[in-house]
């Protein structure tokens, strides 16, 4: 479904990604892990066309999207939940969702307000609350819901549970597990190895802009050397 093939990406003259490659198949949950500053967010930004790759290719459903605009990439079926819980603070919850609503590439997407209320009952309770009035956890739920309202074929989550209280983190993981059961393809960045191992099919670890390890959840949990060397645990 998504193929990132040997891309190089830069911020100005500074190269951040070096021959970076990964794939996400239909219905797969894949993680991208690594220490801070190793290129995880840049990889997401390159996929979305926000930091265009200068070398290599990015394909989505066999279409080369390397040079596409972020808007066009999103409309093709790639949903982004960016780091920092970006929502519209001056719109209420329902308005935030309606603002991003799109039927998706197939034109008959399943994600409607009713479906979002079922997945996130808390958002339905707060649907008339302004974005600025929500807690951090509620804002992250809203950010995920906004992305789902575009009816994406694949969902990209950057720092899915960063800075959230443990109980709220558990709700977010439960949400992602529900999405996985429904066949939603997901590429997720986070630091919670145990939770990621429970939900994901495969894992990539990035170090200094390149993939240095790829494997299953079992292989990740059993390799103390990999976790210590590349993740600092």
Kindly list the averaged pLDDT for each block of 10 residues, start to end, along the chain of length 233: 97 96 97 95 96 97 96 94 86 92 73 93 94 91 93 93 89 92 95 93 97 96 93 87
Q: Which residues of 115-152 are buried (b: 16+ CB within 10 A; e: fewer)?
A: ebbebbebbeebbeebbeebeebbbbbbbbbbbbbbbb
Would you state the pLDDT for residue 188?
96
Dihedral sign, Cα of residue 10, residue 66, residue 61, residue 181: positive
Distances, alpha carbon 226 to alpha carbons 73, 157, 170, 202, 230, in Å? 34, 23, 25, 15, 6
Structural domain count, the chain? 1
Would you state the pLDDT for residue 101?
86
Find residue 64's DSSP bridge partners: 59
Distances, alpha carbon 93 to alpha carbons 23, 39, 178, 208, in Å? 33, 32, 21, 38
Would you state the pLDDT for residue 106?
62
Q: Which pairing describes strands 185-188 and 154-157: parallel, antiparallel, or unpaired? A: parallel
88 — phi, psi (to 5°)?
A: -95, 105
Would you state the pLDDT for residue 87?
87
Would you state the pLDDT for residue 214?
97
Would you state the pLDDT for residue 162?
87
Of the candidates 99, 85, 90, 219, the one whose C-alpha atom is nearest the C-alpha of residue 159 is: 85
Domain residues for 92?
Answer: 2-231
Q: Are 204 and 214 contacting, i.e. CB atoms less than 8 angstroms apart?
A: yes
Q: Are 169 and 192 contacting, i.e. CB atoms less than 8 angstroms apart?
A: yes
Distance CA(97)–CA(87), nearest Å, equals 10
Q: Are 33 and 220 contacting, i.e. CB atoms less than 8 angstroms apart?
A: no
CATH number at residue 147: 3.40.50.300
Would you state the pLDDT for residue 107?
62
């Amino acid at each position: 479904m998504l193929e990132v093939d040997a891309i190089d990406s830069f911020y100005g003259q500074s190269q951040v990604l070096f021959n970076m490659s990964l794939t996400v198949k239909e219905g797969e949950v894949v993680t991208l892990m690594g220490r801070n500053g190793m290129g995880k967010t840049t990889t997401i930004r390159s996929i979305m066309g926000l930091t265009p790759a200068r070398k290599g290719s990015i394909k989505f459903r066999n279409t080369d999207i390397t040079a596409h605009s972020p808007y066009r990439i999103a409309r093709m079926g790639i949903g982004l939940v960016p780091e920092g819980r970006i929502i519209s603070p001056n719109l209420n919850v329902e308005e935030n969702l309606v603002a991003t609503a799109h039927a998706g590439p197939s034109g008959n997407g399943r994600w409607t307000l009713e479906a979002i209320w079922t997945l996130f009952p808390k958002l339905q309770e707060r649907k008339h609350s302004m974005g600025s009035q929500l807690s951090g956890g509620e804002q992250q739920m809203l950010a995920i819901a906004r992305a789902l309202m575009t009816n994406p074929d694949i969902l990209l989550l950057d720092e899915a549970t960063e800075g959230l209280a443990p109980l709220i983190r558990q709700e977010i993981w439960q949400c992602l597990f529900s999405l996985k059961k429904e066949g939603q393809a997901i590429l997720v960045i986070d630091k919670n190895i145990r939770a990621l191992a429970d939900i994901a099919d495969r894992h990539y670890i990035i170090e200094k802009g390149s993939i240095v390890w790829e494997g299953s959840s079992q292989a990740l949990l059993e390799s103390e050397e990999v976790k210590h060397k590349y993740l600092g645990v």
